[in-house]
Amino acid sequence: MSAPVFLGVIGVGGVGTAFLNQLARLPNAPKLILLARSTQTLLSPTPSYSPSIPAAEWKTASATPSLTKSGALSAEEIANYLSSAPGRSILVDNTSDPALAASYPVFLRKGISIVTPNKKGFSSDLSLWKDIFASAAQGNALVYHESTVGAGLPVISTLRDLVATGDEVTRIEGVFSGTLSFLFNTFAPVGGSGAAGKKWSEVVAEAKELGYTEPDPRDDLNGMDVARKLTILARIAGLEVQAPDAFPVESLIPEELRSLDGSAEGVKTFMDRLGEFDGQMTEIKESAEKEGKVVRYVGSVDVEKKEVRVGLQRFDKDSAIAGLKGSDNIISFYTKRYGSNPLIVQGAGAGGDVTAMGVSADLIKVVQRLQ
Amino acid sequence: MSAPVFLGVIGVGGVGTAFLNQLARLPNAPKLILLARSTQTLLSPTPSYSPSIPAAEWKTASATPSLTKSGALSAEEIANYLSSAPGRSILVDNTSDPALAASYPVFLRKGISIVTPNKKGFSSDLSLWKDIFASAAQGNALVYHESTVGAGLPVISTLRDLVATGDEVTRIEGVFSGTLSFLFNTFAPVGGSGAAGKKWSEVVAEAKELGYTEPDPRDDLNGMDVARKLTILARIAGLEVQAPDAFPVESLIPEELRSLDGSAEGVKTFMDRLGEFDGQMTEIKESAEKEGKVVRYVGSVDVEKKEVRVGLQRFDKDSAIAGLKGSDNIISFYTKRYGSNPLIVQGAGAGGDVTAMGVSADLIKVVQRLQ
């Protein structure tokens, strides 16, 4: 149960850095033999694949003379390097790169397992999803991606356990974006306290200021991040969702501002002009209030009707979704066994440390299965 | 990755029956070679350990001439039988038998992995807990027990992931008994609706009627079931809890009725006389109401202070614990990474199907690791 396992890691952004910190403290960690950032790759020298890269000192490790340095390597090159290591190997993809995700089958067919928080591989065209899992079976490799939905919250693993043990998942519903959770918890709080008076554009500006949104807040407001998460959950629940744009996704970008480009100038114009449309959001909020409800941005999968939806919905003020705090996610699984009260998972669904936690926990499980 | 794995199952009560139904539908299920109920044991004949017992027809399988029948076997005998099978083997203990739990080390040292919802092994004296995990390491065997807390809810796995990835769990808090959840959600509902008028003894009688309590409701009301669950969580979080009676556990059995024996007569006298003490519970409820709160029966582990407690506590009406429905459990993990908003798991924490689900999901994971 203790064959050596080798590890390649790509990406040293927020999640990547947090992951490397966690890796450095894992007992029984696999040997880190490749660490790639955008233009630089650090490798353990072949053919010995030794010494390994010290995860604790990854920032300064490129100065270590016994390690090999290289520019950016192609996916093929990385896969060849890892698959020639003297033991099973794992690739941790801590990027959000669609091109790297598209090459997962190359790794998997060579027997390299994948652990990743990168949603792209699992939420793009259905053919890629199928290719990934067929390649994993063919290469006798594993694919773990807990952090693609709800960061480190036990969402993917719970859904897979429900399905694998023969439960019938009828419906999945929840708040899947920390950013949109914060925006609506602030814009339309249950208590209706002081903050209730803030205009939508003010809340968005505040969230941007706090770093809670993407640098371009339209990447949150267009709903595509939530749509990708729903695509993943729907597929695990058994629906053949073709792509994340194959079902209704409500964009919170006003119609009139959709033609603005993605440049810094475009972002600025968008933020400047968003206030012109505050009336629309106020109306949505007040119309919910008249029914004694609050509005939230949610996603849902109705497995029986084969319907996936992402958008605004009204919720009773005493519901769990309405009562969400801060930027928490909440995911409810309605199943045959759990009956009328769903199985609920709730908590922070974004942030480097908790996302990295999901990656580290997956890595531990993959290592346990490979050894 | 497909060496044969052999399975022995003990117990065919509510959970055991539900488990066998799930097992019958598992793809890639291990071979069932031993099925033991109180006085009867069904075995695949040695030395071939073939044919295996059909899980789908376990009720009628004892009529199959090619299988071996026997009376009750000792733990030693079962361990010898399983460890001689031509492959790795797993024991699923679906009983709540303390004697069987005390013999887990015997199985584990022989390399037999354990999967169980039986709390006894993990919540009795600390020496047994230590012996179990030391024996597992020695025998290179695995121990999975998700369903010992919160049935199939992802509680143990989540806590183990938090700890294994280096998070600091500071506090665990929640409602851990489906029975006590139902009793208090009914006795002191947040809405304060019609049911609010019911007396405590009436609510207990109703729950007993519905089959929500143990046959002897004192087994729920004494708090020991919750204390055992807290013992398990505290130990995983790193506290060396000596035993489930080594910390304060508030019993809801009135002082004056504690001397009644466990006979059917004792149960009847208890139920008959419980109403005499309704005033005490009404007072507790009303005193919470005066503060705008509701009373709930909760358990908590304060990891930093090394304190474990089980008993009544007051909660704000808009808190998640106060808003619990039916007989749901809720478990909140406060950790360094998750910050001020805990990671929360909520849902049915009792019932044959959902408890068996936790057992089946564990079994799948153990098989994956052994293959």
pLDDT value at position B192?
65
> A45 and A77: one domain?
yes
Q: Could you give the CA distance from residue B268 to residue A341 in angstroms, rounded to a whole number? A: 32
**Chain B residues within 8 A of A165 when measuring between CB atoms:** 22, 26, 356-357, 360-361, 364
| Tens-digit pLDDT profile for residues A78-108 | 999 999 999 999 999 999 999 999 999 999 9
Give the torsion through C-alpha atoms of B262, B264, B269, B270, to 10 deg. Answer: 50
**Residue A197 pLDDT class (50, 70, 90 cuts):** confident
Nearest by CB: A167 against B328, B357, B364 = B357
**Residue B1 pLDDT class (50, 70, 90 cuts):** very low
Q: Which of residues 34-53 of B touch A (CB under 8 A)?
A: none
State yes or no: B11 annotated in a binding site.
yes
**Chain A residues within 8 A of B326 when measuring between CB atoms:** 340-341
Nearest by CB: A326 against B1, B341, B357 = B341
Helix, strand, coil content of chain A in percent (nearest 5): 45, 20, 40
Pick the catalytic residue from B229, B285, B317, B325. Answer: B229
Q: Is the pLDDT of residue B328 over 50?
A: yes
Nearest by CB: B347 against A165, A338, A357 = A338
Q: Is the pLDDT of residue B165 over 50?
A: yes
B360, A166: Cβ pair inside 8 Å?
A: yes
Give the percent of chain B with pLDDT over 90: 91
> A169 and A247: one domain?
yes
The mean pLDDT of chain B is: 95
Is the residue at A167 inside a domain?
Answer: yes
Nearest by Cα to B99 from B122, B73, B121, B129:
B121
Chain A contact for B115 (CB, 8 A cutoff): no
| Tens-digit pLDDT profile for residues B123-140 | 999 999 999 999 999 999
Q: Is the pLDDT of residue B179 over 70?
A: yes
| Tens-digit pLDDT profile for residues B202-234 | 999 999 998 889 889 999 999 999 999 999 999
**Residue A1 pLDDT class (50, 70, 90 cuts):** very low
> A341 and A360: one domain?
no
Higher-scoring residue by pLDDT: B45, A317: B45
Angle between helix axes B178-187 and B200-209 (nearest 10 degrees) is: 130
For the beta carbon of residue B325, count every other beta carbon within 10 angstroms: 15
Measured in Å, how far apart are chain A's first and last C-alpha atoms?
A: 5
> B43 and B78: one domain?
yes
Q: What is the mean pLDDT of residues A167-188?
A: 96
Q: What is the mean pLDDT of residues A179-192?
A: 91
Query: Chain-centre distance of CA B76, in angstroms?
Result: 24
Give the torsion through C-alpha atoms of B212, B215, B217, B221, to 10 deg. Answer: -80
pTM for the whole thing?
A: 0.96
**Chain B residues within 8 A of A25 when measuring between CB atoms:** 166
Q: What is the mean pLDDT of residues B170-183?
A: 97
Q: Is the pLDDT of residue B291 over 50?
A: yes
Chain A contact for B3 (CB, 8 A cutoff): no
Chain B contact for A3 (CB, 8 A cutoff): no
Nearest by CB: B364 against A164, A338, A344 = A164
Min Cα distance A179 → chain B (Å) is 15
What's the domain count of chain B? 2
Q: Is the pLDDT of residue A186 over 60?
A: yes
Q: Could you give the CA distance from residue A4 to residue A58 in angstroms, rounded to a whole number? A: 21
A369, B364: Cβ pair inside 8 Å?
A: no
The helix or strand, by DSSP H or E, that contains position A76, with its residue range, turns out to be helix A75-83
Q: What is the mean pLDDT of residues A121-135?
A: 98
Pick the catalytic residue from A229, A268, A285, A290. Answer: A229
Q: What is the mean pLDDT of residues B146-155?
A: 97
What type of residue sits at position A276?
E
> A338 and A246: one domain?
yes
pLDDT value at position A319?
86
| Tens-digit pLDDT profile for residues B349-361 | 989 999 999 999 9
Quick check: helix, strand or coil at residue A204? helix
The answer to whether the CB of B227 falls within 8 A of the CB of B247 is: yes
> B190 and B302: one domain?
yes
A341, B361: Cβ pair inside 8 Å?
A: no
A364, B26: Cβ pair inside 8 Å?
A: no
The answer to which of A43-47, A231-235, B188-192, B351-355 has the lowest mean pLDDT is B188-192
Is the residue at B1 inside a domain?
Answer: no
Task: Find the CATH number of the domain harbouring A300.
Answer: 3.30.360.10
> A188 and A264: one domain?
yes
pLDDT value at position B38?
86
pLDDT value at position B321?
92
Nearest by CB: B361 against A153, A165, A342 = A165
Q: Which of residues 293-322 of B touch A (CB under 8 A)?
A: 318, 320
Compute the C-alpha angle B35/B36/B42, nearest 5°: 55
**Chain B residues within 8 A of A362 when measuring between CB atoms:** none
Interface probe, candidates B161, B172, B325, B365, chain A, greatest A C-beta count within 10 A: B161
> B273 and B335: one domain?
yes
Q: Which of residues 123-142 of A touch B (CB under 8 A)?
A: 140
Q: What is the mean pLDDT of residues B231-254?
A: 97
Q: Which residue of A has its CA nearest to B361?
A: A161
> B170 and B311: one domain?
yes
Interface probe, candidates B337, B363, B364, B366, chain A, greatest A C-beta count within 10 A: B337
Q: Could you give the CA distance from residue B320 to residue B324 in angstroms, rounded to a whole number? A: 6
pLDDT value at position A192?
65
A348, B325: Cβ pair inside 8 Å?
A: no
> B17 and B103: one domain?
yes
Q: Is the pLDDT of residue B196 over 60?
A: no
Is the residue at B133 inside a domain?
Answer: yes
pLDDT value at position B197?
82
Is the residue at A363 inside a domain?
Answer: yes
Q: Is the pLDDT of residue B322 over 50?
A: yes
Q: What is the mean pLDDT of residues B304-321?
A: 94
**Residue B194 pLDDT class (50, 70, 90 cuts):** very low
Q: Could you give the CA distance from residue B108 to residue B106 in angstroms, rounded to a whole number? A: 6
A157, B154: Cβ pair inside 8 Å?
A: yes
Mode of pairing for the β-strands spanning A68-71 and B40-43: unpaired
For the beta carbon of residue A369, count every other beta carbon within 10 angstroms: 18
The token pair at A371 is: 């050894």
Is the residue at A1 inside a domain?
Answer: no
| Tens-digit pLDDT profile for residues A229-270 | 999 999 999 999 999 999 999 999 999 999 999 999 999 999
pLDDT value at position A96?
95
pLDDT value at position A191?
76
Q: Is the pLDDT of residue A195 over 70?
A: no
Q: Is the pLDDT of residue B77 over 70?
A: yes
Which residue stretches of B47-197 are H helix?
A: 75-83, 98-102, 104-109, 120-123, 126-139, 156-164, 178-187
Is the residue at A323 inside a domain?
Answer: yes
pLDDT value at position A18?
97
Q: Which residue of B has its CA nearest to A190?
A: B318
Is the residue at B238 inside a domain?
Answer: yes
pLDDT value at position B2?
67
pLDDT value at position A211?
87
Is the residue at A252 inside a domain?
Answer: yes
Enclosing domain of residue B288: 155-348
Q: Which residue of B has its CA nearest to A356?
A: B165
Quick check: helix, strand or coil at residue B114? strand
Residue identified by tokens 């027990």 is: B145
Q: Which of residues 329-358 of A touch B (CB under 8 A)?
A: 333, 337-348, 351, 353-354, 356-357
B364, A325: Cβ pair inside 8 Å?
A: no
**Chain A residues within 8 A of B22 when measuring between CB atoms:** 165-166
Respond yes or no: is residue B293 known to be catalytic. Answer: no
Q: What ipTM goes with this model?
A: 0.95
pLDDT value at position B211?
87
> B195 and B323: one domain?
yes
> A300 and A246: one domain?
yes
Nearest by Cα to B147 from B165, B130, B122:
B122
Task: Find the CATH number of the domain harbouring B143.
Answer: 3.40.50.720
Q: What is the mean pLDDT of residues A108-112?
A: 98
Q: What is the mean pLDDT of residues B329-351?
A: 95
Q: What is the mean pLDDT of residues B150-164?
A: 98
Q: Which of residues 139-198 of B touch A (CB under 8 A)?
A: 140, 152-154, 157-158, 161-162, 164-167, 190
State yes or no: B294 annotated in a binding site.
no
Min Cα distance A195 → chain B (Å) is 18
Q: Is the pLDDT of residue A64 over 50?
A: yes
Q: What are phi and psi of B10, to 5 degrees?
A: -120, 125
Min Cα distance B18 → chain A (Å) is 11
Nearest by CB: A369 against B326, B345, B369 = B369
Q: Could you give the CA distance from residue B356 to residue B198 in angstroms, rounded to a whole number? A: 34
Higher-scoring residue by pLDDT: B139, A39: B139
